[in-house]
Structure formats: structure tokens, C-alpha cells
Amino acid sequence: MVNRFRFGVGLLLAASLLSVSSTWAADEAQLEPSSPWSMEYAPDSCLLKRTFGSGEEQIQLQFDQFDPARPPTILVSGKQFGQFSTATARVVATFGPGLPEGESAEAVVGTVGPERTPLLMLGTRDLLNRSSLGLTAALAAPTLEQAAAVSQLRLDAGNVRAMLKIGSLGAPMRAMQTCLDALVRDWGFDPAQQASLTKRVSPTGQPGLWLTSRDYPTRAIAKGERGVIRFRIMVGADGVPTQCFVPRPTMSSEFITLTCALLMKRARFSSALDREGKPVASYYVNTVHWAPQQ
């Protein structure tokens, strides 16, 4: 059996993307906030979330950010997303008002919490609806002024048409930045230095060969086990990995141990450069999708 492993640049989405023009139904649900914004500080991420609507229409929106240099991962959960029986679902997410139409992209379908509430992992989404194909470290993050002008999120997922009235994202994104600065500081770096890097850590060689089909555990193949592992590698000024971490794993400890062991052995990088062009220690965040080939 052949297996595939996907390395997205912080993405939980398949690579296929398509710009579309959606026609919104007249009965689109208008969901007002039913909770305040809350921020969770974790050792490896910052999680900003808020709930909208109530009952069967209730949707929770989450901005989950693992890497300060890249946009947050967007997740939505609610009973109405239980309609999807496949591993992925095509979703259009459009921040607004007055911004271009969002892209249609495959979201990973899952569940969350003890009640196994249906979840859609929309992947990395830009608050200005810029193409995910351009979401690299070279793309400037939205300013706080631009974030403050964003006050709604439209979702088109299967038979769900919903407008989340999220309110101005100025204050929430300011809180996110405070959390991210604390995160980088906890990792042992100066947030100001990391934010001013003239070059970020980048892989050398072929990252696709860091983990191959030969590495997939035989026992896991028999079980059909699959999942997404987001990892963070600490990289020295010489480009050599020094530590590997897996925040919020979705797979067994066997996969976590294997993933980090192989990455530490095989992954090599071109080091980060500070504002003076000198090599400095930094970090690299990415995702591996362990899945048997269909």
C-alpha cells in the first residue's frame, strides 16, 4: 500500500483551491454573538474564540495561531456541520464587509470535545481574503487598522449559509498579538528580533523526503489510522534542529514520537537572518498529514 504525506505551509487544507462567486441564499442565517471573545494561552499556540447564535444554529468560531509569522488557522464547530460524512468538505469563507469574495477550499472534517461536536478546520485564512497561494512569510500581515475594519464572516458550507456578526477584530487581534509575543518569549526568543528577521528559517533539500511511505507504521496501516500532526522545530543559527515539539496532537504517541525522531534526523535548514544579516536561532512550524493512500 502506498501512503502520502502532505506538507502544507501551516495549512490543514488540501492544495486544490478555486476562486468562486457565491450566490447567497435569501434565508442566510444572521448569527449574533452569544458569548464574549475569549483567549486561551497555551504552550504552543494562542486560541481566540467566540460563539454565535443558539440552539441548532449555534456556531463557535476559533482563530488558532501556532506561528506568529503566518495567519491563524480558522475552525468552526456546530451541530449543523454534522451533515458531512466525508473526510473533507468544500467551504467558502469570506471576511467583510467590502472585501473580495473568499476562496472555496477543502476543509478537514472532524469533531471536538466530549460531545464530539462536528468541526470544520478551514485551514489558514487571511482576514483580507487574499489568495491562500500567496500566504507566505513575504505577504504582509493585516495591520490592526485593517483588522478593525473586519466585522463579519460569511460561511457557505454544504447546506449551511451563515453570516457571523463577529464585530470589529481590532481588539481581538491586538489581544492575539500580545499572546503571540508571550509565546515567542516562552520559546526563548526575543519577539522583536523574530518579528524583524530579514530571512526566516527555510528548509534545504526536499522536505517531502523527510517523511516517506516507508516510515508509515505497519500496525497503523492495518488500522487505517490517519491524522494531522502540526510540529515546531527549534533551529540553531547553524540551521541544525535542536528540538521538536508537537502541540495538540490528533494521533497516537507512536506517530508523535516517530514524526519528531525522523524530523530531527533528516530535516535541515537555511538559518534565519536578523536585521543585520547575521544568522540567528529561530523556529520552523509546519504540518504533516499521515494518511494511507486511497
Q: With b meaning 16 or more CB within 10 Å and e meaning fewer, what string describes 78-112?
A: bebbeebeeebbbbbbbbbeebeebbbbbbbbbee
- Say what the pLDDT of residue 158 is: 92
Report d(CA 262, CA 9) in Å as an integer: 19
263 touches 230 (CB < 8 A):
no
- Say what the pLDDT of residue 10 is: 30
Domains of the chain, first to last: 12-186 (no CATH), 191-292 (3.30.2420.10)
3-state secondary structure of 270: strand
Question: Mean pLDDT per 10-residue run, the chain (294 residues)?
Answer: 32 32 62 96 90 96 90 93 90 96 90 90 91 58 93 95 97 95 94 94 88 75 69 94 81 78 94 96 87 60
pTM reported for the whole predicted model:
0.78
Report d(CA 42, CA 281) in Å as an integer: 22
- Say what the pLDDT of residue 153 is: 98
161 touches 28 (CB < 8 A):
yes
- Say what the pLDDT of residue 265 is: 93
